Amino acid sequence: MAYKDVGKAKFNAILKQVEDLGAVKEADPKMMGNRIIVIMAPDKKLLQKYKEKKGLKT
């Protein structure tokens, strides 16, 4: 794959934006062929605060 480092830099920028919205990385990004794979999940602390604020059941 050409320009692999440019793709990784863009992907890391996207990850940073998603983390700012309240997600956490469960696994580091991995290259699989021409794809980059990462596992993410919602931040439980932020999710709990949001539910308490909105009055939702847990």
pLDDT, one tens digit per residue, over 2-22 is: 788 999 999 999 999 999 888
Length of the chain: 58
pTM equals 0.70
Q: What is the DSSP string of the chain?
A: -TTHHHHHHHHHHHHHHHHHTTEEESS--EEETTEEE--EEE-HHHHHHHHHHHT---
Range of the domain at 29: 4-54
pLDDT at 47: 79
Number of folded domains that form the chain:
1
pLDDT at 40: 94
d(C-alpha 5, C-alpha 31), whole Å:
11
pLDDT at 25: 93
d(C-alpha 15, C-alpha 29), whole Å:
10
pLDDT tens track for 19-46: 988 899 999 999 998 899 999 999 888 8
pLDDT at 58: 56
